[in-house]
Amino acid sequence: PDYTITATPSDSGAAIADSMYGVFFEDINYAADGGLYAELVRNRSFEFLPADRSGYNGLTGWTVNAGTATTASDDARLNDRNRTYLRTTGAASLTNAGYNSGLAVQKGQIYDFSVWARADAGAQLTVSLGGAALTKAITTDSWAKYTGTLRATDTTDAGRLSVDVDNSARLDMVSVIPRDTYKGHGLRKDLAEKVAALKPGFVRFPGGCLVNTGSMYGYDAANNYPRARSYQWKDTVGPVETRATNTNFWGYNQSYGLGYYDYFQFSEDIGAKPLPVLPALVTGCGQNRATNDPALLQKYIQDTLDLIEFANGPTTSTWGKLRAQMGHPKPFGLSSVAIGNEENLPDQYFANYLQFRDAIKAKYPNVTVISNSGPDDTGATFDNLWAKNRAAGSDMIDEHYYNSPSWFLQNNARYDAYDRSGPKVFLGEYASLDAKFANSLAEAAYMTGLERNADVVKMASYAPLLANIDNTQWRPDLIWFDNDESWGTTSYQMQKLFMNNVGDRVVPSTTTGAVVQPKPITGRVGLSTWATAAKYDDVKVTTPDGATLLSDDFGDGNADGWTSLSNRGTWSVQDGAYVQSDTAATNTMVAAATDITATDYDITMKATKT
């Protein structure tokens, strides 16, 4: 078609920062344990609890093949924050199955083994993996760390770690980590390399919904043991055996082997700025709880100040000293922190945010403090939070949205009208839903709109980053993996293209000619909304000229052609309607109708919501 783009070189276009595009790492889809964190042993500290996910127990990941071995939680524990250990009575033989199909090992590679152990009257420990074995004499009845190396003689992606003792013993923190990790810093090499290949300008971490949710206090008061709590960075630093494990928002146990120090180190290793997200003492992600406890709020705020000291403070400071002890005396150069994620209670969130912001600015005036716009990309909460942030002169607002490819094509101009003098935008999470090639094209088209508005949109990160093929809570995702392989999606390639070719400045351009219509697509359309215990009926997908592509009243008891792309919430057909029955949380419904051939992108989906 006759279509002309005229570019006029000039300095009037917006400057694009090198750090414009980054990545958002969240421990979702087993992205940390069994993913980026290179530990091969699943449940190394015997801390999995049924509360984390039904079917879990202290021996999850382990099989007792002979003898008596049970978990124990008593005064003989390793320490107060690592409360459960393995107790054998006499000789016992166990195996650990690792993640996915097993522990992946390669012939000739070295694997570092370690365990904390004690034995009632001396015991011999034998471990084997990938054809290699080692023995250790456990000589005392007080906890000590035993280490050794295993050089695999076989290559397998279905290895088992065998652990045998010939006498009564206590074991904890049974660990096997490949010697060959990314830059020697304990992260799985292929995954870290794939993230590094993007050349991200920043790493946002550790969530997402992971950050704020769970109990505010989350302490088992009787035992002074933190559990099911919001993400507390102090739980994730220091020796790994003192990092109390936690259940996470996505329903599984997290070891915190990948902790804040590791996130900072990884950011530095890939040349990206670290961008931590701190809990705001108001739940987000559909949960509507705020805690009116000024003392607890002050603790959260102080923890945030302490984090900045941990990252940047001198080695003589309390937290800077810990950073140095962990191996990094030099500051990490933290320049931005984000407060909260997708809070549903805007007033409570904003009141807390202001207190965080003021305390941070008073002590660290040069640190950018990022607020957010709640869970929606438009709407009352969004408007409310944007208005509040504008009035308060916030530095930057974190926006999130997951929408159909057509939404991304139709909203290319979203930021053209944003106030140039107000807070800047951090597009902390976005992705077009479903996982087809058309998605990456829609995302690319959208990213041209982000760049055109680089004076307002300062940073953007696709989400989520990683997904374990056997344990997925959310899709689409940028990089997929199992226990020994990983692969990027077409969206990954698109992000890589943009991130590796960040321009310096937007060149003003004009277009003339007929508007090119997007090509037909065959695929899925989705209905994405936030809803608690939502119920949909009479769903219709129609073209602009009124032709019905799909119609479903759910009267036959089936949701034919519909799938939920997001696993938040359980959807089923009940009483002739499509019902999301999880009343505990607000859920994203992304129901997709398959096998639709649309003649253009302007198809509409309507549903009666009851």
Footprint (CB under 6 A) of ligand AHR, residues 24-63: 26, 28
State the minimum distance, in angstroms, from the CB of residue 489 to ligand AHR.
15
Only one of the segments 7-15, 70-78, 204-212, 303-311 lies at the binding site for ligand AHR (rule: CB under 6 A); that segment is 204-212
Residue 27 CA: distances (Å) to CA of 31, 173, 505: 5, 21, 34
Backbone CA torsion sign across 381, 384, 387, 389? negative
Residue 253: how many CB atoms within 10 A of its CB? 21
Residue 280 CA: distances (Å) to CA of 234, 300, 509, 551: 15, 7, 42, 42
State the minimum distance, in angstroms, from the CB of residue 411 to ligand AHR.
18
SS3 content of the chain, % helix, strand, coil (to 5): 20, 35, 45
Count, in order, helices (H) and strands (E) of the chain: 10, 35
Binder to ligand AHR among 207, 257, 340, 488 (CB under 6 A)?
Answer: 207
SS3 347: helix
Is residue 208 near ligand AHR by the rule CB under 6 A?
A: yes
Nearer to ligand AHR, 462 or 554 (CB): 462
Residues in contact with ligand AHR, shown as a per-residue x/- string from 574 to 593 under the rule CB under 6 A: --------------------
Is residue 429 near ligand AHR by the rule CB under 6 A?
A: yes
Q: From the candidates 241, 342, 343, 399, which is the catalytic residue?
A: 342
CA–CA distance, 412 with 452 (Å, rounded to integer): 10
Nearer to ligand AHR, 240 or 285 (CB): 285
State the minimum distance, in angstroms, from the CB of residue 460 to ligand AHR.
14
Note whether 179 and 110 are within 8 A (CB).
yes
State the minimum distance, in angstroms, from the CB of residue 22 to ligand AHR.
14
Nearer to ligand AHR, 28 or 591 (CB): 28
Binder to ligand AHR among 103, 104, 177, 209 (CB under 6 A)?
Answer: 209
Q: 257 burial class (0-12, 13-18, 19+ CB within 10 angstroms)? A: buried
Footprint (CB under 6 A) of ligand AHR, residues 243-282: none
Residues in contact with ligand AHR, shown as a per-residue x/- string from 458 to 497 under the rule CB under 6 A: -----xx---------x-----------------------
At 353, which helix (H) or strand (E)? helix 346-363
The 8 Å CB, 24+ separation contacts for 387-393 are 388/346, 388/350, 389/350, 389/422, 389/423, 390/419, 390/422, 390/423, 392/350, 392/354, 392/357, 393/423
Nearer to ligand AHR, 208 or 523 (CB): 208
Single-letter amino acid, residue 538: D
Is residue 342 near ligand AHR by the rule CB under 6 A?
A: yes
Only one of the segments 75-83, 112-120, 158-166, 201-209 lies at the binding site for ligand AHR (rule: CB under 6 A); that segment is 201-209
State the minimum distance, in angstroms, from the CB of residue 464 to ligand AHR.
4
Residue nearest to ligand AHR (CB): 208
- ∠ Cα 342 348 353 (to 5°): 70
Only one of the segments 4-12, 64-72, 206-214, 223-231 lies at the binding site for ligand AHR (rule: CB under 6 A); that segment is 206-214
State the minimum distance, in angstroms, from the CB of residue 378 to ligand AHR.
15
Binder to ligand AHR among 199, 204, 400, 475 (CB under 6 A)?
Answer: 400
In SS3 terms, 163-195 reads as EEECCCEEEEEEEEEECCCHHHCCECHHHHHHH
Binder to ligand AHR among 175, 341, 373, 528 (CB under 6 A)?
Answer: 341
Nearer to ligand AHR, 178 or 207 (CB): 207
In SS3 terms, 292-333 reads as CCHHHHHHHHHHHHHHHHHHHCCCCCHHHHHHHHCCCCCCCC
SS3 24: strand
- Whether 342 is catalytic: yes
Nearer to ligand AHR, 257 or 284 (CB): 284
Phi-psi region of 105 (alpha: psi -120 to 50; beta: other; left: phi over 0): beta
Contacts of residue 95, defined as CB under 8 A and 6 or more positions apart, other chains included, come to 62, 63, 65, 160, 161, 162, 163
State the minimum distance, in angstroms, from the CB of residue 386 to ligand AHR.
18
Only one of the segments 104-112, 207-215, 307-315, 348-356 lies at the binding site for ligand AHR (rule: CB under 6 A); that segment is 207-215
Residues in contact with ligand AHR, shown as a per-residue x/- string from 285 to 304 under the rule CB under 6 A: x-------------------
- Give residues in contact with ligand AHR (CB under 6 A): 26, 28, 207-209, 285, 341-342, 400, 429, 463-464, 474
Q: Which residues are catalytic?
A: 342
